[in-house]
Homo-oligomer: A and B are copies of this chain.
């Protein structure tokens, strides 16, 4: 690898292993895997996913749907409260492929019912406790209003209830993640029961990577939409969703300064590359990444007692131990495992694989 500036390195083998693990799990539990492509955002990685008999995906924006539609995907859920200002783009998409939308208020339903040009499926976004978006699961007045209108609609086809239990990201243990997952699917099953007599079928779609990675009970769930599992990152590792060996990306950063007195290394690689997402270690200190070494066709496990302690726009400051720093010289290239790969990918917009291929993103 001829690295001269911050470069996002992708380990394709880890990626394939991660996809296979989740595809096998979905098959085992008879779930449809509709992976969220907002993490990797890449047409080429999407093609790898296709090889696991996956033909439907999730995206987080209309523009991302356009990109993946152009990459040959024909069944896409836009898992974001529908933005009515983008109706024209959606009408262009629904002419060609199957698009599923998310609705969480009657205003958007009425707008779509009036302005959609093709019959389109939608999920009702349910808030099972994350409190970011979605209708509170017990706000039956709001749910009823949409479902009543659905019966008269020739444009909108109700598919089912969808949630993103993002509260798992704040969980302190695997047990807590499983509890959130369990509560969440219980709620969705309750809603399904409540309304199924009026609608021939109601699907249940759940999304977060921690639940999908850790849980083994998916009672009543039809579809899972994890995204981060293809690359993983330190946040998922900390939550227990993956082992550190599963993390498939690292940011290659040139060393520009070495401070032996402080045991600190300055690398070219900052907030505009990694994003400013951080985690808190057991001593209460922020960290923005772990450090790995590049080997011929992969990267090492994290270096002991070594982490990114701060980030400026282009600088990363790595805190390490005397032993490691004694081996580092200016011009070396270190790898940084990101805290949140979705944001790092979004900042970098390209990957480099170990066989020298550059993969673009949306």
Task: Name A's B-contacting residues (CB within 8 A).
Answer: 3-5, 38, 60-63, 80-86, 89, 104-105, 107-108, 111, 131-133, 136, 166, 254, 256-259, 261-262, 266, 268, 271-272, 275-277, 310, 312-315, 317, 329-331, 333, 342-343, 346-347
A12 to chain B, nearest CB (A): 24
Least CB separation from A136: chain B residue: B261
Contact A257 B329, beta carbon cutoff 8 Å: no
Contact B257 A133, beta carbon cutoff 8 Å: yes
Contact A132 B5, beta carbon cutoff 8 Å: no
A280 to chain B, nearest CB (A): 14
Q: A111 vs B332: C-alpha distance in the bound complex, in angstroms?
A: 14
Contact A314 B61, beta carbon cutoff 8 Å: yes
Which of B4, B136, B346 is in CB contact (< 8 Å) with A86?
B4
Contact B258 A83, beta carbon cutoff 8 Å: no
Q: A271 vs B169: C-alpha distance in the bound complex, in angstroms?
A: 16
Least CB separation from A63: chain B residue: B5
Among the interface residues A104, A107, A259, which one has the most CB atoms of the partner chain B within 10 A?
A259
Contact B5 A61, beta carbon cutoff 8 Å: yes
Contact B82 A343, beta carbon cutoff 8 Å: no
Chosen A-B contacts, 15 in total, with CB atoms closer than 8 Å, are A5-B62, A83-B268, A84-B254, A84-B256, A85-B254, A85-B331, A104-B257, A107-B330, A133-B257, A133-B317, A271-B277, A272-B342, A272-B347, A276-B277, A313-B342
Contact A105 B258, beta carbon cutoff 8 Å: yes
Task: Find chain B residues with CB under 8 A from A63 CB.
Answer: 5
Which of B89, B262, B313 is in CB contact (< 8 Å) with A38?
B313
Q: A166 vs B313: C-alpha distance in the bound complex, in angstroms?
A: 12
Contact A312 B81, beta carbon cutoff 8 Å: no
A274 to chain B, nearest CB (A): 10
Which of B61, B85, B136, B272 is in CB contact (< 8 Å) with A346?
B272
Q: A258 vs B84: C-alpha distance in the bound complex, in angstroms?
A: 13
Task: Find chain B residues with CB under 8 A from A86 CB.
Answer: 4-5
A66 to chain B, nearest CB (A): 11
**Other A-B pairs, 10, CB within 8 Å; known A38-B313, A61-B268, A133-B315:** A4-B85, A38-B314, A81-B256, A81-B266, A84-B256, A84-B330, A108-B330, A271-B275, A313-B343, A346-B347
Given A104-B257, A132-B266, A133-B266 in contact, is the A313-B85 Cβ separation under 8 Å?
no
Task: Find chain B residues with CB under 8 A from A314 CB.
Answer: 38, 60-61, 80
A336 to chain B, nearest CB (A): 16
A302 to chain B, nearest CB (A): 22
Which of B107, B262, B276, B277 is in CB contact (< 8 Å) with A131?
B262
Given A107-B329, A132-B266, A330-B108 in contact, is the A83-B310 Cβ separation under 8 Å?
no
